[in-house]
Chain A
Amino acid sequence: MVIVGAPGLMSFITVFVLAAFVGYEVVSKVPSILHTPLMSGSNAIHGIILVGTMLILGQAHGAAQETLGFLAVVLATLNVVGGFVVTDRMLHMFKPRSDPKPASTPSTTPTGDDGSGSGSSGSPS
């Protein structure tokens, strides 16, 4: 790992700023009915720290680093699996009216979402 100097620091900052805008844009479209799944879903996403903990433990030398790294992997795994399972359980419960009254169901056009999807996912690269 490079320690001295700042190779690529600017490009990381660029990615950071763009990701902040993407996150803000995407999340501002979430209706309040789904705010709890949003909480636990984004919770699961920051479980990506698992990848970081794996890299750290992979390179760990000595008892101190290994212990800290091991603990980190356990915690991060808890975050990932817990986050996604809980979110899936919650979203599974959200169902539209099942009796024949489909007219009252709020309709969101999937095409609009697809459009914003490809737009936002392109920007972090």
Chain B
Amino acid sequence: MSRATATDLVYLIAIVGFIFALIGLSSPKHARIGNLAGATGMLIAVAWTFSLPTVYGQTRNLVLIIIAVVIGTAIGVPAARNVKMTAMPQMVAIFNGVGGGAAALVSVTEFISLPGKSIAIYKICEILFGVLVGSVSFAGSGVAFAKLQELMTGRPITYPGQQPINAGVGLAIVAVLIATVLTANTALLVVVVILSLAIGIIFVLPIGGADVPVLISLLNSFTGLAVAASGFTLDSNLLIVAGTLVGASGILLTRMMSHAMGRSIGNILFSAFGSVITATGADGGPDGRTVRTGTADDIAVLLAYARKVAIIPGYGLAVAQAQHVVRELADTLAARGVEVYYAIHPVAGRMPGHMNVLLAEANVPYDQLVEMDDANPEMATTDVALVVGANDTVNPAAKNTPGSPIYGMPIINADQATNIVFLKRSMRPGFAGIDNELLYDPKTTMLFGDAKDTLSALVAAVRAV
């Protein structure tokens, strides 16, 4: 067997490992084994690559590679081990961004190493695609990281002339791309890189915090496609398949997320949702309606004597890092014979499935985590819907108020429960900036405060009942 065939075979094994990693994720039971299969595939592919003459034979460059891998590992492993589960979205964003950056660098380096005139047009197109998409993913993930880490505001950022500026940058890059294809000029490639980075930034700036789940899955898809483009450039089936798997999965996930928001992908990415609407939300409140606030003791009695309680978590739970306390409350109630389940909206939080990971961290068994579609039929027979740090995902305006910005978004039907309890920091509207009529419902009791504090008070009060 020739070395080239052996290489293809080894890379095929790695590909199979990656596919098993994705198949494993069809159930929590074998997900971890699947991930190990993927990691093994990666290890085999990288180890084999070290043995190739184009790598192993180049002593000086081999040393550089080893140093670079050691540096990457020394930074990456501790960061990945120590990150808090609540900081997971920004961690995923940053790891995604560096992947996009690496793909863009591969394309750039390949471009400058090619001899000037004899490059086929399709080759330049592959390279430019990798540079463009990889750079957008790199810069976009960086801004998403800054938003999630609260280095900058999570609100959509808009400025006068935003649309014309974006259009101008868009036209400029199209022109430069065409010029680069025709001339294969390295200086032009530098302009492509700069413009691509700029596009990544201005693309993400107007996207607000609650829309980040869609954004992150889209950027993940971009990186996958950039890697696939590198695969075309380097004639590597391994990179093409792995990159395309991720690209396809990211696009599918993006579609699922936008579906769960009841909005089109275009609307989420380009409408700066939440910035305009905040103004209308502000004057929706003071119209004489009153909310009923309760004490922890009142609510504890309500919960303790309930038959069935639904806990509906939202981003407020993550902000307060209250996942452990909420589990304590659920356990305390369960010990009294109350049936407790968690009703989880697909876009609650800052990344797809965010709430599930947080609650899993607090050792909530995954069979208590009920998806929205399965939870909604249960709501009518639920005695208390306990909404923890969520708002828009239970707002009946999504069903009842045509013209509301969230109209058409699937929600958890907390309004059908016999009693509703909101644990909220304040009366401030949710991310969408619209008033929630459920807060004024006669069935609703409010308990204001940080979710962790109010939940701790509830745990103590339930124990005292």
Q: A15 to B183, alpha carbons, bound, how many Å?
A: 30
Cross-chain pairs A/B with CB under 8 angstroms, 7 sampled: A52-B102, A54-B46, A57-B64, A82-B76, A85-B80, A92-B32, A95-B363
Q: Mark B101-136 against chain A: 1 for CB-CB distance below 8 A, else 0.
A: 111011011101111001110110000000000000
Query: Does A29 contact B77, Cβ atoms closer than 8 Å?
Result: no
What's the minimum C-beta distance from B253 to chain A, rounded to whole angstroms?
Answer: 7
Query: Does B109 contact A42, Cβ atoms closer than 8 Å?
Result: no
| With contact pairs A3-B123, A58-B61, A81-B76 given, residues A37 and B227 touching in the complex (Cβ less than 8 Å) | no
What's the minimum C-beta distance from B387 to chain A, rounded to whole angstroms?
Answer: 19
Query: Does B252 contact A28, Cβ atoms closer than 8 Å?
Result: yes
Residues of chain A contacted by B243 (CB below 8 angstroms) = 46, 48-49
Stretch in B13-21, B391-399, B439-447 touching the partner? B13-21
Query: Does A42 contact B22, Cβ atoms closer than 8 Å?
Result: yes
Q: Mark A7-34 against chain B: 1 for CB-CB distance below 8 A, else 0.
A: 0110010011001111110111111111
Residues 175-233 of B contacting A (Cβ, < 8 Å): 216-217, 220, 223-224, 227-228, 230-232
Residues of chain B contacted by A26 (CB below 8 angstroms) = 19, 22-23, 26, 245, 249
Query: Does A46 contact B253, Cβ atoms closer than 8 Å?
Result: no
A106 — nearest CB in chain B belongs to which residue?
B367
| With contact pairs A72-B109, A73-B72 given, residues A27 and B35 touching in the complex (Cβ less than 8 Å) | no
Q: How large is the interface on A (under 10, 10 to 19, 20 to 34, 35 or more residues)?
A: 35 or more
Q: A54 to B230, alpha carbons, bound, how many Å?
A: 12
Contact of B216 among A6, A39, A60, A89 (CB under 8 A): A39
Contact of A76 among B94, B102, B236 (CB under 8 A): B102
Query: Does A46 contact B224, Cβ atoms closer than 8 Å?
Result: yes
Question: Top 8 closest A-B pairs, CB basis?
Answer: A77-B72, A35-B353, A23-B248, A73-B68, A35-B352, A72-B105, A85-B80, A19-B244
| With contact pairs A41-B35, A51-B46 given, residues A12 and B58 touching in the complex (Cβ less than 8 Å) | no
Residues of chain B contacted by A29 (CB below 8 angstroms) = 23, 26
**Extra A-B contacts (19), CB below 8 Å, given A48-B42, A86-B92:** A16-B232, A24-B249, A26-B22, A39-B352, A46-B103, A47-B42, A49-B243, A50-B46, A51-B49, A52-B231, A56-B234, A60-B113, A64-B112, A79-B76, A84-B35, A86-B83, A88-B32, A95-B365, A113-B26
B77 — nearest CB in chain A belongs to which residue?
A81
Residues of chain A contacted by B76 (CB below 8 angstroms) = 77-82, 85
Asked if B305 is at the interface of the complex by the 8 Å CB criterion, the answer is no
What's the minimum C-beta distance from A71 to chain B, rounded to whole angstroms?
Answer: 6
Q: A13 to B114, alpha carbons, bound, how many Å?
A: 22
Query: Does B35 contact A75, Cβ atoms closer than 8 Å?
Result: no
What's the minimum C-beta distance from B1 to chain A, rounded to whole angstroms?
Answer: 16
Stretch in B263-271, B354-362, B416-424 touching the partner? B354-362
Contact of B352 among A32, A66, A78, A96 (CB under 8 A): A32
Contact of A51 among B217, B235, B236, B366 (CB under 8 A): B236
Q: A77 to B368, alpha carbons, bound, how many Å?
A: 36
Residues of chain A contacted by B249 (CB below 8 angstroms) = 23-24, 26-27, 38, 42
B79 — nearest CB in chain A belongs to which residue?
A82
Q: Mark A94-125 against chain B: 1 for CB-CB distance below 8 A, else 0.
A: 11111000001110101001001100110011
What's the minimum C-beta distance from B430 to chain A, rounded to whole angstroms?
Answer: 20
Query: Does B230 contact A8, Cβ atoms closer than 8 Å?
Result: no
Residues 260-311 of B contacting A (Cβ, < 8 Å): none
Residues of chain B contacted by A34 (CB below 8 angstroms) = 25, 28, 31, 353, 356
What's the minimum C-beta distance from A27 to chain B, rounded to whole angstroms?
Answer: 4
Asked if B330 is at the interface of the complex by the 8 Å CB criterion, the answer is no
What's the minimum C-beta distance from A63 to chain B, rounded to whole angstroms?
Answer: 11
Query: Does B54 contact A41, Cβ atoms closer than 8 Å?
Result: no
Contact of A82 among B38, B95, B105, B354 (CB under 8 A): B95
Query: Does A121 contact B25, Cβ atoms closer than 8 Å?
Result: no
What's the minimum C-beta distance from B106 to chain A, rounded to whole angstroms?
Answer: 5
Query: Does A52 contact B96, Cβ atoms closer than 8 Å?
Result: no
Query: Does B31 contact A37, Cβ atoms closer than 8 Å?
Result: yes
Q: A88 to B230, alpha carbons, bound, how many Å?
A: 27
Asked if B378 is at the interface of the complex by the 8 Å CB criterion, the answer is no
Query: Does A90 contact B45, Cβ atoms closer than 8 Å?
Result: no
Residues of chain B contacted by A96 (CB below 8 angstroms) = 28-29, 365-367
A23 — nearest CB in chain B belongs to which residue?
B248
Residues of chain A contacted by B112 (CB below 8 angstroms) = 64-65, 68
What's the minimum C-beta distance from B275 to chain A, rounded to whole angstroms?
Answer: 26
Contact of B118 among A3, A58, A61 (CB under 8 A): A3
What's the minimum C-beta distance from A19 to chain B, rounded to whole angstroms?
Answer: 4
Query: Does B356 contact A97, Cβ atoms closer than 8 Å?
Result: no
Q: A68 to B108, alpha carbons, bound, how many Å?
A: 8
Query: Does B110 contact A56, Cβ atoms closer than 8 Å?
Result: yes
Query: Does B19 contact A22, Cβ atoms closer than 8 Å?
Result: yes
Contact of B72 among A24, A68, A78, A124 (CB under 8 A): A78
Query: Does A41 contact B61, Cβ atoms closer than 8 Å?
Result: no
Contact of A121 among B15, B234, B239, B365 (CB under 8 A): B15
